[in-house]
Amino acid sequence: MKLRKVTAASAAVLALALTATACGGDDSGDNASSSGSGGGDKIKIGIKYDQPGLGLKTPDGSFTGFDVDVATYVAKELGYKPDQIEWIETKSADRENALARGDVKFIAATYSINDERAQKVDFAGPYLLAHQDLLVKADSDISDATDLNDKKLCSVAGSTSAQNVKKDFAPKAQLRELGTYSECVAALQSGAVDALTTDDSILAGYASQDQYKGKFKLAGLKLSNENYGIGVKKGDTETVNKINDALEKMVGDKAWEKAVEANFGPAEYKNEPAPKIGDLVK
Ligand code: GLU
């Protein structure tokens, strides 16, 4: 167990924890929160910073989006008020490592649950079902995955979107993998690529931005099922269980529905109904 910056209060908690776990080899005493069981000073949560409607850092430094609302609700259930949350940007390719290093306590960042990732991290959820789609210029004649052969297609490194292109529906497209979807949107606007592919939830958010209104359209394809989960460090079953309880409560008390309306309403994104915990749509 790594010991860092131990205050008097947390030393007492730590002493108790050590007694309780004896030589259990629990190494969850990481950087992500000052108390492994919640209710400490701060909690670090991974989100996206550039995905309107999901996870967005606004110019005034505040954070908005469905993932932000879900994460804030979950944090509350773990014992943290909004002002105790420290948001950390976790880009698609960084998520597994951020959890393994203990940079964040959990990640709510359009993070699809799949077998490969589940080898490295644990997931709570799912809390949203999205589908992979294409974003193209309003006057584009790309309307299907079969139109992508030899076309320049943008997606993000470390995403299921890029993987699905290569494996499944457009192996002959010229795939450009950038670091973020906002970089792909810029590439689409400039004509450097012909299409952008990722989850419809994300694409709808970009298409509805004032500066892009009328310029882009979604193809409306359901190329995959993306079950969004909340990632936690591998082996942290206690946190997974607590987050699952929080998600169930959020759906039950209608806070989930409210967050959907507030964040997807402006983009006119037609979301799927709330998924059941543990119920993955393959
Ligand atoms: N949901 C997909 C994934 O987890 C695409 C969105 C993203 O890259 O965050 O890879």
CATH code for the domain of 75: 3.40.190.10
CA atoms within 13 A on the CB side of 240: 17
Domain range enclosing 233:
29-130+225-267
For residue 261, the CA-to-ligand 1 centroid distance in Å is 21
Of all protein residues, the one whose alpha carbon is nearest to atom 8 of ligand 1 is: 159
85 and 163 both lie in a single domain: no
Q: Are residues 40 and 105 in the same domain?
A: yes
CA distances to 21, 86, 238 from 52, rounded to whole Å, are 42, 19, 31
In this structure, are 260 and 142 located in the same domain?
no
**Closest ligand 1 atom to Cα of 48:** 9
pLDDT in tens, 40-65: 699 999 999 999 999 999 999 999 99
| 112 and 153 housed in the same domain | no
Same domain, yes or no, for 66 and 83? yes
For ligand 1, atom 6, the nearest C-alpha belongs to 110
Q: Does the Cβ of 49 fall within 6 Å of ligand 1?
A: no
Which of 9-13, 145-149, 151-155, 264-268 shows the lowest mean pLDDT across its residues? 9-13
Strands 43-47 and 106-107, by their bridges, are parallel
The answer on pLDDT for 38 being more than 70 is: no
Answer yes or no: pTM beyond 0.85.
Answer: yes
- When pLDDT is averaged across residues 157-178 and rounded to a whole number, the result is 97
| Domain termination site, one of 186, 218, 250 | 218
Residue 266: C-alpha distances to residues 18, 22, 72, 164 (Å): 49, 52, 20, 28
Q: What is the mean pLDDT of the chain?
A: 90
Q: Give how many domains the chain has, as a whole number.
A: 2
pLDDT at 5: 38
Task: Compute the distance from residue 155 Cα to the ligand 1 centre, in Å.
Answer: 10
Mean pLDDT of 170-174: 96
Asked whether residue 118 falls in the same domain as residue 143, the answer is no
Q: Average of pLDDT values for 144-163?
A: 97
Residue 246 CA to residue 244 CA, distance in Å, equals 5
